[in-house]
Copies of this chain bind each other. A is one copy, B any other.
Amino acid sequence: MAENGVRPINRPTNPMVTPLLTDLYQFTMAYAYWKAGKHLDRAVFDLFFRKNPFGGEYTIFGGLDECIRFIANFRFSEEEISFLRSAMPACEDGFFEYLRAIDCSDVEVYASPEGSVVFPKIPMMRVEGPVAVVQLLETPFVNLVNYASLVTTNAARHRFVAGKSKILIEFGLRRAQGPDGGISASKYSYIGGFDATSNVAAGRLFGIPLRGTHSHAFVSSFMSPDEIVDKTLQSCDGSIICEDFVSLVQTWLSKLQLLDSTNGVFGETNQSELAAFTSYSLAFPRNFLALVDTYDVMRSGIPNFCAVALALNDLGYKAAGIRLDSGDLAYLSIEARKFFCSVEKEFGVPGFGKMLITASNDLNEETLDALNKQGHEVDAFGIGTYLVTCYAQAALGCVFKLVEINNQPRIKLSEDVTKVSIPCKKRIYRLYGREGYPLVDIMTGENEPPPKVGERILCRHPFNESKRAYVVPQNVEELLKCYWPGYSNKKREELPTLKETRERCLRQLAQMRPDHVRRLNPTPYKISVSAKLYDFIHFLWLNEAPVGELQ
């Protein structure tokens, strides 16, 4: 296939993504096509979804990179052929010879760039090729796109609520739906606007920044500061060695207790916690971040943290901050901030009041929104379960529908009009208005002249006769680009890096008219067909639908 000097295409991230990762019926159909001599019929399929997730009015397209990696490496191994032979004993040998020979050189894939804002009914991908081969791609493509798009959209929605200035860290590996539920979640959360992940495997595979400190178990694994054997710590600039850092911490804790006597917040702090913090700071003096809620945030965690942070400060180190993982995060973050500020003032430690406060514990869009409304002092959020499992809506319903075969347009009817597919090999354009916002996406037949800047065009709702509008676009963008040219002589679009995809996502979201992306009652973005395509859809529909007979 044409490479045109662009970057080579890697294997799928998950080695389990092979041509067997599909539904059996793709193979039984392939056999029936083959047996009927129909397997080379040229088919065109659209990949799209019908409804935006999470009650929103937009979706971010994810998973394209993995789809292209998949088809670039699409080949059956001998072992896979043997398995298929055993699973389909009724099939003739010639069929397995055929399978042994196929790859995706004769397939063409057109798609919106990954990280694009996309809308219902508008194909995100169009796949053309021999019908038997393209059918085999259906399940893996839909599998690779569905969750990817869902979790990217979920991440973008969390970013939207949290605001641009907050640090968002994906924490979901342990609650994710299996190992690569976790790994994909890290990847696509990053595209959707997260800053970092706790998942080391994702850090290695994708270069996503990693974050992590310690858990409650670390805290409770210590008994008391007495068990710390090596108490020495060299100062940040290497000039002095503190021989007994543990005592230095104790001294600071006493000073804090005096300071506190006016406020009366804490008495004795927990000694196993103090030991754990001290020990952790000895290991990471340059990056001391403590989980402060194992026993009691304000009466133990915060003063213990401050004692260690102030001792570190004496040696020229700057502590990083705290993490809150339970309780009233709004209240606790505000109280913690106050305490940090009073420490800054009392002991003259510049910047101590600006200590990073991270919050976690079952956060989601709603709790972020509630925190914003209450007011809080959190700088960074660690988000797990609700982000990675897409708890609010655990599936996106992407489908893969035949729209043309051997140049014959095909329509899939349904009792439910929202499930009727839009036939024909199509082109998709996004039309922009005066203020630079996208106004409407329009689908046209492949050979219709494209919409032109400054020229009025009629955009029709595909199924609702009365919904139509004239648009004079200020800018016209064709959405589907060629990512896999097959034997066509088109240029293959370069697959962008993860960072580039993330930037596209953030840029595209910033470009949307605000009412389309807001959380409450967002305005639906308009999708449409050309007048010509509208007429053709309805002609074909009448042609295919049986005429009922009332009795």
Contact between chains at A23 and B286 (CB < 8 Å): no
Write out the residue numbers on chain B whose beta carbons fall within 8 Å of the beta carbon of A548.
Answer: 299
Query: Is A313 at the interface (CB under 8 A from chain B)?
Result: no
Contact between chains at A221 and B43 (CB < 8 Å): yes
Contact between chains at A412 and B216 (CB < 8 Å): yes
Write out the residue numbers on chain B whose beta carbons fall within 8 Å of the beta carbon of A229.
Answer: 36-37
A413 touches which one: B146, B295, B402, B408 (CB < 8 A)? B295
Contact between chains at B210 and A24 (CB < 8 Å): yes
Query: Is A521 at the interface (CB under 8 A from chain B)?
Result: no
Contact between chains at A179 and B412 (CB < 8 Å): no
Query: Is A504 at the interface (CB under 8 A from chain B)?
Result: no
Contact between chains at B23 and A83 (CB < 8 Å): no
**How distant is A164 from chain B, measured CB to nearest CB, in Å?**
24
Contact between chains at A177 and B179 (CB < 8 Å): no
Contact between chains at B174 and A143 (CB < 8 Å): yes
**How distant is A460 from chain B, measured CB to nearest CB, in Å?**
24
Query: Is A395 at the interface (CB under 8 A from chain B)?
Result: yes
A32 touches which one: B147, B283, B405 (CB < 8 A)? B283
Contact between chains at A212 and B25 (CB < 8 Å): yes
Contact between chains at B20 and A200 (CB < 8 Å): yes
Write out the residue numbers on chain B whose beta carbons fall within 8 Å of the beta carbon of A545.
Answer: 295
Query: Is A135 at the interface (CB under 8 A from chain B)?
Result: yes
Contact between chains at B23 and A90 (CB < 8 Å): no
> Which B residue sits closest to A286, measured CB to CB?
B90
Contact between chains at B413 and A283 (CB < 8 Å): no
Query: Is A523 at the interface (CB under 8 A from chain B)?
Result: no
Write out the residue numbers on chain B whose beta carbons fall within 8 Å of the beta carbon of A29.
Answer: 214-215, 217-218
A178 touches which one: B147, B171, B215, B397 (CB < 8 A)? B147
CA A223 to CA B294, docked complex, whole Å: 68
Query: Is A189 at the interface (CB under 8 A from chain B)?
Result: no
A217 touches which one: B45, B179, B204 (CB < 8 A)? B45
**How distant is A228 from chain B, measured CB to nearest CB, in Å?**
6
Interface string of A167-202 (1 = CB under 8 A from B): 000010111111111111000000000000011110
Query: Is A284 at the interface (CB under 8 A from chain B)?
Result: yes
CA A201 to CA B14, docked complex, whole Å: 13
Query: Is A68 at the interface (CB under 8 A from chain B)?
Result: no
CA A405 to CA B397, docked complex, whole Å: 48
**How distant is A173 from chain B, measured CB to nearest CB, in Å?**
6
CA A408 to CA B227, docked complex, whole Å: 14
Contact between chains at B410 and A220 (CB < 8 Å): yes
Query: Is A97 at the interface (CB under 8 A from chain B)?
Result: no
Contact between chains at B139 and A173 (CB < 8 Å): yes
CA A483 to CA B209, docked complex, whole Å: 36
> Which B residue sits closest to A263, measured CB to CB?
B551
Interface string of A537-550 (1 = CB under 8 A from B): 00000001111110
A36-B228 in contact given A178-B177, A203-B24 (Cβ < 8 Å) = yes
Residues of A within 8 A of B (CB): 13-18, 20-29, 31-33, 35-38, 41, 43, 45, 80, 83-84, 87, 90-91, 131, 135, 138-140, 142-144, 146-148, 151, 171, 173-184, 198-201, 203-204, 210-218, 220-223, 227-230, 264, 267-270, 279-280, 282-284, 286-287, 294-296, 299-300, 326-327, 385, 389-391, 394-398, 400-402, 405, 408, 410-416, 419, 544-549, 551
Of the A-B pairs whose beta carbons lie under 8 Å apart in the complex, a sample of 8, sorted by A's number, is: A22-B199, A24-B200, A35-B279, A38-B221, A90-B287, A131-B221, A220-B412, A299-B546
